[in-house]
Chain A
Amino acid sequence: MRNMWTLYHKEMLESLRSYKLIWVPVVFIILGIMQPLTTYYMPEILKASGNVPPGMLEGYEMPGSAVVMAQALGQYGTIGMLILVLGVMNSLAGERSSGTVEMLMAKPVAPAAIVSAKWAAQLTVLVMALGLGAAGAAYYTEQLMGPLSWSNLAAAAGLYGLWLLCAVSLTLLFSAWLRGPAAAFLGLLAAAAMSLAHSLLPSQLGWTPASLTAMSAEMMTEGGGFAWGPVLFAGILIVACVAAASLLIRRNQLPE
């Protein structure tokens, strides 16, 4: 347990020294506040572009604050996920290819402690980025559109974060045995495949973690729709990823 803390401390120090702990939250904040701003100023933006057919702007209706906030969270599903996955892809692959893991494993350290510490460090980055990003988006949404339910917002952001954590954990698993870019590709592919399968067969695959995004949006706009299935399966998926990565890193620790 103390080893895990030491390793976690090292991971966080690396995130800080490489400025990852700063730029990932900054990107999330920018992504988050763009949504309420562009929605609010859309009529002006369209007017400024000049060639809008007359009568179109009369039909523009300002969406409600909850809808805008749900859309803002939806922004993190693409670029946000990409950034997180690119950030995690080298966490185990880099230690293996550079050979630093050899001296690490010669110390009395369990592979599970190494993987869990890395996972916990990624979780910290994710929570900081999503927390600050959602807070920024919520602030502008409240200022421009109207009041929000903060408890709904917290629940929605938590559900969205769980989905992002699934993608991060999958990438961490692939990173235990593949090279970094291949791990990122497979991590994103797995997340995309889950989303696609869920959108094709929503009723049969309602229990998959991919339905967390829809659940998050519903939670934001209507304040309900919570189901244990996807949350439970997301938890199982994450634990399985960390456990499998620990087993793999024990076997693939040495650069040949």
Chain B
Amino acid sequence: MPLLTVANLRKVYGGHTPVDGISFEIEAGKCVALLGPNGAGKTTTLRMLAGLLKPTSGQISFDGSPGGDYRKRIGYLPQSPAFYNWMSGQEYVVFAAKLCGISSKEAAGLAADVLEHVGLRDAGRRKIAGYSGGMKQRLGLAQALIHRPRLLLLDEPVSALDPIGRREVMELLRGIREETTVIFSTHVLHDAEEICDDIILMNQGLIAEHGALSRLRSQYSIPVIRLTTEREEKAQRWLEDLAHRSFVEQSEVSSGSATLNVKNVELARQIILQEAGSLDIPLLQFEAGSSTLEDLFMKVVGA
């Protein structure tokens, strides 16, 4: 039985519909990325899943039971978490634990563990006002994890962070996804590819594509060869010549590099490398493989 089932979820604000009827299921233990450009309806969807917004229509079933208040069993981290700056990190986590019905004594122990886990053990006693963006995000994860939720909802957990903060949070997520089910939204495909099993690609309030990352990758992959040479006239002529061979379906040649969509990678590789050898072409790079999900993303977004 799936942990979360969403059927025909819709949200209408006045004349504008940020989420226009989406349905999906999430199995326990999965890590799912909610992917899409800005304004695709990711935040609205997560807020409805977190019970912060009432759907206009549609149904959310948690653990098989539709409706009901399941907030005790989920952890939620908003896009830009706002804390009480006069509290210390440790006080905030204890406060969050007590609101989930954990006794004060137990909360103190859990808070120490979870702060240690997110790397805020030493900073826990300091006021939140003095925290950096990365520390606030990690504190946000700590407050979402304190009551050991079955489902973790994270809204753009790394988008606003610098590369170091981003790395820290991604490493944490890699560990967290082993223990609990995670849904996180992002507009960065690379983040999704790094840690997720499944993706849900949203655009303009609808699910554009949805499924296991591995399946999507093979379904949308096109055999492609990328070549880079030294900028010589001879090499350039050769690249332009390659573009018109029978095994090339589509090509893009610019000065010193070419991207060729081919019918058969094996055959094309053999021919190209042989020719490059016999014609003494100064090759810099040769890459044979498939196009990434980036292309799928761009196609869906319609850029």
Contact = CB atoms under 8 A, between A and B. Distances in A.
Interface stretch (B80-88, B179-187, B196-204): B80-88
B27 to A, nearest CB: 23
Give the size range of A's interface with the partner: 20 to 34
B71 A108 contact: yes
B223 interface: no
B99 A100 contact: no
B78 A103 contact: yes
Interface in B79-117: 80-84, 86-87, 91, 95-96, 98-101
A106 B82 contact: no
Given A103-B76, A254-B53, A108 B100 contact: yes
Contacts of B72: 108
B215 to A, nearest CB: 32
Most buried by A among B50, B69, B72, B98: B98
Given A6-B99, A102-B52, A107 B71 contact: yes
A49 interface: no
B100 A107 contact: yes
Interface string A167-210: 00000000000000000000000000000000000000000000
Contacts, number: 62
Contact of B84 (A14, A106, A108): A14
B180 to A, nearest CB: 16
B101 A2 contact: yes
B143 interface: yes
Contact of A108 (B69, B87, B143): B69
B2 to A, nearest CB: 22
Nearest to A98: B82
Given A100-B82, A106-B78, A109-B99, 10 more contacts: A98-B82, A99-B78, A103-B76, A103-B83, A103-B140, A106-B50, A106-B52, A107-B71, A107-B96, A108-B72
21 contacts: A3-B98, A3-B99, A3-B101, A6-B98, A7-B99, A10-B84, A18-B86, A98-B82, A99-B80, A102-B52, A102-B78, A102-B82, A103-B76, A103-B81, A103-B83, A103-B96, A104-B99, A105-B52, A106-B52, A106-B71, A254-B52
Interface of A: 2-3, 6-7, 10, 13-14, 17-18, 98-100, 102-109, 253-254
